[in-house]
A and B are shown apart, each in its own frame.
Chain A
Amino acid sequence: MPVRKIFVAGAGTVGQGIAEAAASAGIEVVLSDIDERHLDIAINGIEASLNSLIERWAITASEKRTILSRIQPVVGLKNSEDCEFAIEAVPEQLDIKKQVFREFDRNFDAQTILVSTTSTLNITEIGRVTRRQDRVVGMHFPFPIVKTAVVEVVRALKTSDRTFEAAKDLVVQMGREVVEVNEYPGYITTRVMVPFINEAIHALMEGIATAEAIDKAIKLGFGFPIGPLELADTLGLDDLMILMESLYKELGDLKYKPCPLLRRMVRDGYVGKKVGKGFFTYMNGSGNHADTGS
């Protein structure tokens, strides 16, 4: 049976991406945040994302209206009937995630599956605050969520097979491929990509080549659609550094230690596309870099 309705807590970038992807696949979404202002920003963000799809001819204006009509914004973690999944997409901090899961557990039907979108925190630990640890599972949506065709579905220690299968089915219904992973810091995508990006930053810092040359070599040399430095700009250098520090702390290996140049750029506020400048300079958020920075 296809999923009809899900609840998404947290209307930031991740929550918006999940809501848009689910609604585009015909699933009703209750999108929640702490106040109206955050929800307004989120709905505007989703609308802007859908508008950019219309500009690229990917969807029509009437499809946009249908997709938006499936997203119902609500303030707070109120019980919403018939939600088969409750997904947390709140900031990557253990206490906040635990608090949300506690409320999920209290407010939602016993059958509802609880999902965490964390990529570095421990889902078993987050799930421990609930009375339904068999119905707790992880889903890591690599960024940018709307465009990325893969989701890492994460089995926590006590996740039941039924829950895991249901989570995989939801991902497929959202038109994405599933990669099964066991709980371990960084899973596949973050774990493999972060040291790769960091190495590229080292290469830049050590003066091996310009940022443009590094990205060009990797893109054309290995058929990557995007180079590591532009990818870093896309992810946000501040968020990238948080991921690295978390991996460094959890795994203790020096290869996860953020490159000094990354630290300096974050300190200086050059955190990537969202501010128009990172390793490259961006014009009005178009995504195409205009000239090399750094």
Chain B
Amino acid sequence: MRILVLNSGSSSVKYKFFDTGKRLCLAEGQVERIGLPGSLLHHKRFDGDRIRTGVEALDHGKAIEIVIAVLMSENHGVISEKGEIEAVGHRVAHGGERLTESALITDEVRKAIHDCIELAPLHNPHNLRGIDACKQLLPDIPQVAVFDTAFHHTMPASSYIYAVPYILYRRYGIRRYGFHGTSHRYVAGRTAELMRRELASLNVITCHLGNGCSVAAIKKGKSIDTSMGFTPLEGLVMGTRCGDIDPALVLYVMSKENLTVAEATAMLNKHSGLVGISGISSDMREIENQAERGEERAKLALEVFTYRVKKYIGAYAAAMGGVDAVTFTGGIGSNSAIVRAKSLDGLEFLGINLDVERNRGAIGVDSEISSSQSRTKVYTVFTNEELVIALDTERIVSSLEHQRR
């Protein structure tokens, strides 16, 4: 099935166009600076053909029109008419408590996504814009929403309830939701594949370390806990986000520095994490370079970052009563041998033995990086959320067609 996967952000639309039968991404790219002067289209075809061109994209509708046009373009396209797009899969940030699995977008589902805007004010409105634009541009083509939160819906209440007045859960839906669900799900599945075992027989800890960072405890194929919480701010140290902190410090700093809610929010989301500790950069590559040169604060940032990962691995091993595999993914997780090594340092008691050479040599491919004797396996995997979205879309749309027959 030929499926267009869309990730609609505030001023960009990212796309990948799949042939799921061949498991092939035919084309991918993005429209940037939507609604701003100087909108740009980047487009890449499977055979390496690339273009980068200025476009007029006043809104998401116009941007998706441009995406469809370039997919059909004679010189750079991969299809000859709109009808060859058989379905559209959308990445949607927040599904709340009701949308717990990927769903065909009906009026009811659209409304439920809309109801979650308050939980994800920076993402869901833009996701909806993409959905509405597709409904207009491709009215007869089924659309599916795949939620970043859905995979974690299997968490027990003991994982998702915060120890604050229970009425806040009832009143505002304050609980742990978790994010990066599609990535954790893909990576756990890929880990089982690499181990040649059934996921349902494994305890896996997946570490998604990218722009945002989160860890998930996946017990027999189900997420039972994850480090991101009510928002993506909780848990690990990230490029610019603080992760776990004492909540009292926020109130203390707000009163000391006379900060508004917006200022405090920006402080925790944009000025903390690696850049906050180091004062140098939010980019782990830069932190590693500076740490190597002996820059103290960069070293400290690296230490705090990896210590936090280690703590979560220990915690989740305990939560699951043991761990069969730890898998790293995301920009940092897939590429930084130093971060992986430091995060696992001293975890031999959990049966984890990293193979130094394999760890260093794991570049650009999914691979095992633990030693042959390691009781607990360690992998590095390139995540592929878009493929999951395409496959979910295919499954849902096929069953729909099946029902119709």
Interface size class of B (residues with CB under 8 A): 10 to 19
Residues of A within 8 A of B36 (CB): 4, 26
Tell which of B35, B37, B267 touches A57, judged by Cβ atoms closer than 8 Å: B267
A34 within 8 A of B: no
Q: How far is the CB of B37 from chain A (nearest CB, A)?
A: 7
A229 to B262, CA, bound (A): 27
A58 within 8 A of B: yes
A59 to B263, CA, bound (A): 8
B42 within 8 A of A: no
B263 and A28 contact, CB distance less than 8 A: no
A60 to B270, CA, bound (A): 7
Q: How far is the CB of A209 from chain B (nearest CB, A)?
A: 25
A1 within 8 A of B: yes
B271 within 8 A of A: yes
Residues of A within 8 A of B35 (CB): 2, 4, 26
B58 and A57 contact, CB distance less than 8 A: no
Q: How far is the CB of B132 from chain A (nearest CB, A)?
A: 15
Interface residues of A in 22-57 (CB under 8 A from B): 26, 28, 56-57
B263 and A56 contact, CB distance less than 8 A: yes
B200 within 8 A of A: no
Interface residues of A in 94-146 (CB under 8 A from B): none
Interface residues of B in 55-96 (CB under 8 A from A): 58-59
A4 and B270 contact, CB distance less than 8 A: no
A149 to B234, CA, bound (A): 29
Residues of B within 8 A of A26 (CB): 35-36
Residues of A within 8 A of B257 (CB): 56
A59 to B260, CA, bound (A): 13
B37 and A4 contact, CB distance less than 8 A: yes
A56 to B270, CA, bound (A): 12
A1 and B270 contact, CB distance less than 8 A: no
A56 to B263, CA, bound (A): 7
Q: A2-B35, A28-B37 are in contact. Are A58 and B58 (CB under 8 A)?
A: no
A59 and B266 contact, CB distance less than 8 A: yes
B315 within 8 A of A: no
B259 within 8 A of A: yes
Residues of A within 8 A of B271 (CB): 57, 60
Residues of A within 8 A of B263 (CB): 56-58
A202 to B59, CA, bound (A): 55
Considering the complex, give the chain B residue whose CB is closest to the CB of A56. Answer: B263
Considering the complex, give the chain A residue whose CB is closest to the CB of B36. Answer: A26
A26 to B59, CA, bound (A): 14
A1 and B266 contact, CB distance less than 8 A: no
A2 to B271, CA, bound (A): 29
Q: Per-position contact with A for B246-259: 1 when CB-CB < 8 Å, else 0?
A: 00000000000101
Residues of B within 8 A of A60 (CB): 240, 266, 270-271
A1 to B36, CA, bound (A): 12
Considering the complex, give the chain A residue whose CB is closest to the CB of B264. Answer: A57
A150 to B260, CA, bound (A): 16
Q: How far is the CB of B280 from chain A (nearest CB, A)?
A: 12
Considering the complex, give the chain B residue whose CB is closest to the CB of A225. Answer: B258
Considering the complex, give the chain A residue whose CB is closest to the CB of B282. Answer: A60
A28 to B59, CA, bound (A): 16
Residues of B within 8 A of A28 (CB): 37
Considering the complex, give the chain A residue whose CB is closest to the CB of B253. Answer: A57
Residues of A within 8 A of B37 (CB): 4, 28
Tell which of B59, B240, B262 touches A58, judged by Cβ atoms closer than 8 Å: B262
Residues of B within 8 A of A59 (CB): 266, 270
Interface residues of B in 258-312 (CB under 8 A from A): 259-260, 262-264, 266-267, 270-271
Residues of A within 8 A of B267 (CB): 57-58
Q: How far is the CB of B36 from chain A (nearest CB, A)?
A: 7
A56 to B58, CA, bound (A): 33
Residues of B within 8 A of A56 (CB): 257, 259, 263
A28 to B35, CA, bound (A): 11
Interface residues of A in 1-32 (CB under 8 A from B): 1-2, 4, 26, 28
A26 to B35, CA, bound (A): 9
A56 to B266, CA, bound (A): 9
Task: Rank and list the top 8 A-B pairs by shortest CB-CB distance, nearest first.
Answer: A57-B267, A57-B271, A58-B263, A60-B270, A58-B266, A56-B263, A57-B266, A57-B263
Subset of 28 A-B contacts with CB under 8 Å: A1-B58, A1-B59, A2-B35, A4-B35, A4-B36, A4-B37, A26-B35, A26-B36, A28-B37, A56-B257, A56-B259, A56-B263, A57-B259, A57-B263, A57-B264, A57-B266, A57-B267, A57-B271, A58-B260, A58-B262, A58-B263, A58-B266, A58-B267, A59-B270, A60-B240, A60-B266, A60-B270, A60-B271
List B residues at the A interface (Cβ < 8 Å).
35-37, 58-59, 240, 257, 259-260, 262-264, 266-267, 270-271
Given A57-B264, A59-B266, output 6 extra A-B contacts at Cβ < 8 Å: A4-B36, A28-B37, A57-B267, A57-B270, A57-B271, A60-B240
